[in-house]
Structure 1
Amino acid sequence: MGEIFGVIASIGVVASLLVASWQTRELTRQTSLNNVMAGVSAMYNGMERLHHIDSFIAAEPWLYSHIYGGASLPEDEDERARVLAIAGMLADVADYGLVITELNPGVQFYVGWRDFALSLRRTCPAMVQLVGEHSAWWSALTKYWAEHPEPSA
């Protein structure tokens, strides 16, 4: 009789281990899926922020050359303030994009924010000036630019 209880107990232990193994695998799969979904949500949030900023440029097309066209800061004080404000918002968005792609394993493969950050360094002197003056405000962007210096001409 003792042997039968031993066999039953052994079957119970094996079944318990199989269920625990299955649960662990499912938990791992669910965690991975949750990471991807969180990353996609964060990416969408960043794109929404970027589209909001681009709506200012669409409303006042003269801003485009100062943000994406490499034009220097305007001399007019009001125009200069607008360009600097938009450049600051854009630095916030680029910094955010770099942070989410670095921290979230579900989107670490995505290079769009990295390319965008390097592109802005080439096309937006106002943003380069702001980030240079206040590097701690945009630490991810500052760090990324330092790690990826401008290519020599």
Structure 2
Amino acid sequence: MAAIAAVVALGVSALSMLYLARQTKAAAEQAKISNAVAAVSANDMVLRSLREVHTLMLQHPGSRRCFYDSMPLPTETGRRDAIVTIAELLADVLTSGIHVHRNIPGSASAEAWEDYCRSVLVSSPVLRDLVRTHSAWWPYLSALLPVNQPGPAAC
């Protein structure tokens, strides 16, 4: 009788282990799905923020050239202040994107985002100068700054 009870207990234990393995596999799949959803959501948030910065550029005609066409910082105070503010916002968005892509599992576009950040830094003397001046504010961007590229000269 004890032998039968031991066999039954062993069988129940084996079934329990199989059920636990199945639950563990399901939990791992759920975690993978959650990570993918988090990556997509975080990427969407960063891209939404970038669209807002681009909207600001549209509201200030000619400002886009300061970020994508190597135009120096304007000398006129009103335009200058607007461009510097947009540069600060853009630096925040670029840094957030790097942080998101580096820290969320399943973010497949981390390398592409860093390439975009490098490209903007190369084509924007205003952003380069801002990041160099306040490197502690945007450490991810500081690490991506091009070597031997001067800051902006006012036009």
TM-score in terms of structure 2 length:
0.89
The answer on whether the counterparts of 1:87 and 1:124 sit within 8 Å (CA) in structure 2 is no
How far does residue 123 in structure 1 lie from its aligned partner after superposition? Answer: 1.3
Segments ≥4 residues shifted beyond 2 Å: 108-112, 149-152
SS at match of 2:54: helix
How far does residue 110 in structure 1 lie from its aligned partner after superposition? Answer: 3.9
How far does residue 151 in structure 1 lie from its aligned partner after superposition? Answer: 9.3
Aligned residue number for residue 89 of structure 2: 89
Per-residue CA distance 1:6-32 (angstroms, 9 max, x = gap): 111010110111011111111111111
**Identical-pair percentage:** 28
CA distance in 2, matches of 1:142, 1:81: 22
Q: Which runs of 5+ in 2 are unaligned?
A: 150-155
Aligned residue number for residue 10 of structure 2: 10
Higher helix proportion: 1
TM-score in terms of structure 1 length:
0.91
Aligned residue number for residue 103 of structure 1: 103
CA distance in 2, matches of 1:131, 1:13: 61
1:2 alignment partner AA = A
Aligned residue number for residue 33 of structure 2: 33
The answer on whether the counterparts of 2:98 and 2:110 sit within 8 Å (CA) in structure 1 is no
CA distance in 2, matches of 1:15, 1:77: 75
How far does residue 37 in structure 1 lie from its aligned partner after superposition? Answer: 0.6
RMSD, aligned α-carbons? 1.7
Aligned residue number for residue 51 of structure 1: 51
How far does residue 82 in structure 1 lie from its aligned partner after superposition? Answer: 0.8
